């Protein structure tokens, strides 16, 4: 994943009123923390930040008064109604450092006829290099029959990633499709 570059302003005022004024001015309040350093309170540009954090675990290179900070998005607070970003928590990372992240699972392919698949776990926890965090883990269920479930230990992980989720965690369940009422009626009439 490539890093997004953003320029931020150092924030010296705090509280709801200031945060509201910052958002009205098109900025998003944020905090950078980690590595034992004091938290740095900043304002990020609203539109650029919203676009940059559309991907989970976004890597951001933030310039604060000429000082560079490589960060990973750890939490985003959104307005529950309008869904606009109200605040962002950023964790300082270094190139080569390993971080723990939750990665989305994407399912591809179709199961065998007469079977149905259900996604039981939407994410898995991985340890990956901070500058090479995968965006998703792909699971191919093409042709799987009922009972051929996929567990976390069966996943093909991106290079350099280590699975932290328990290996026996059920990720995709493949079960026999329930017969529809029409099929049952037709079968009963045939007998």
Tell me the pLDDT tens digit for each residue of 29-85: 999 998 888 999 999 998 898 889 888 888 999 999 888 999 999 999 998 998 888
Report yes or no on whether pTM surpasses 0.85: no
What is the pLDDT, as a whole number, of residue 187?
58
Answer yes or no: are the C-beta atoms of 42 and 9 closer than 8 Å.
yes
CA distance 76 to 73: 8
State both tokens at 2: 């490539």
CA distance 153 to 170: 9
What is the pLDDT, as a whole number, of residue 30?
92
Task: Flag residues of the chain having pLDDT under 70.
Answer: 1-2, 179-191
Q: At 64, phi and psi to the nearest 5?
A: -115, 105
Domains and CATH numbers, the chain: 4-93 (2.40.240.10), 99-176 (2.170.120.20)
Burial 78-99 (b: 16+ CB within 10 A, else e): eeeeeeebebbbbbbbeeeeeb
What is the pLDDT, as a whole number, of residue 188?
55
Element (H or E) spanning 48, and its range? helix 46-52
């Amino acid at each position: 994943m490539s890093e997004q570059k953003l320029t931020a302003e150092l924030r010296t005022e705090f509280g709801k009123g200031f945060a509201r004024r910052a958002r009205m001015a098109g900025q998003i309040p944020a905090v950078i923390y980690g590595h034992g350093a004091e938290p740095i309170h900043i304002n990020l540009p609203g539109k650029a930040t919203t676009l940059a954090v559309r991907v989970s675990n976004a890597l951001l290179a933030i310039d604060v008064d000429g000082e560079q900070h490589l960060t990973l998005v750890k939490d985003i607070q959104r307005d529950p109604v309008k869904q606009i970003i109200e605040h962002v928590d950023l964790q300082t990372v270094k190139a080569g450092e390993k971080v723990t992240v939750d990665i989305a699972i994407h399912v591809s392919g179709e199961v065998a006829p007469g079977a149905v698949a259900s996604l039981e776990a939407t994410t898995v926890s991985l340890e990956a290099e901070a500058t090479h965090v995968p965006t998703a883990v792909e699971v191919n269920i093409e042709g799987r029959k009922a009972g051929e479930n996929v567990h976390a230990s069966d996943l093909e992980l991106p290079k350099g990633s280590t699975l932290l989720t328990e290996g026996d965690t059920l990720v995709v369940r493949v079960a026999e499709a329930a017969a529809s009422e029409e099929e049952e009626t037709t079968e009963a009439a045939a007998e």
